[in-house]
Amino acid sequence: MSESASQRIGNRAWHWARCLDGPIANLVVVVKEENGEWVVLFNPDTADAVGINAVGVLMWELMDGRHSLEDILQAVKGRFADVPASVEEDVSAFVDDLAARGFVGYELEQAP
């Protein structure tokens, strides 16, 4: 989808690009735990899948629209030891990649 693409899911308008609010996990994405260390996210709308590790799982769980990217970054820093100096860019890149692939979005408006 293009940066300005929008999609209506249920009674909410979703925009698959960066906005001021925190990211929201796409409600149609299926989450499947693999071998206790990895989780696979499957988007049935696009047939795309991505494997995420424990850091990605923590981030995914916080993508509820109430947590900003800064909140997610601070949670990663607080939970994991030895985070790299590039953690801010890494968190942003991860969310941007998920958004570009339709796994997360940003709420624009609540329909009446």
75: helix, strand or coil: helix
pTM exceeds cut of 0.85? no
Residue 74's Cβ-count burial label (10 Å; 0-12, 13-18, 19+) is middle
Which residue range(s) make up the domain with 44? Answer: 20-100
Nearest to 56 by CA among 35, 34, 41: 41
What CATH number is associated with residue 54? 3.90.930.60
Q: Is residue 28 part of a domain?
A: yes
Task: Please state the domain count of the chain.
Answer: 1
Along the 112 residues of the chain, how does pLDDT read in single tens digits?
333 334 444 444 444 444 447 899 999 999 998 877 789 999 999 999 999 999 999 999 999 988 999 999 999 999 999 999 999 999 999 999 999 999 998 766 555 5
Q: Is residue 76 part of a domain?
A: yes
DSSP H or E stretch at residue 12 = strand 12-15
Task: Report whether 102 contacts 1 (CB < 8 A).
Answer: yes
pLDDT for residue 19:
45
Q: Is residue 2 part of a domain?
A: no
pLDDT for residue 17:
40
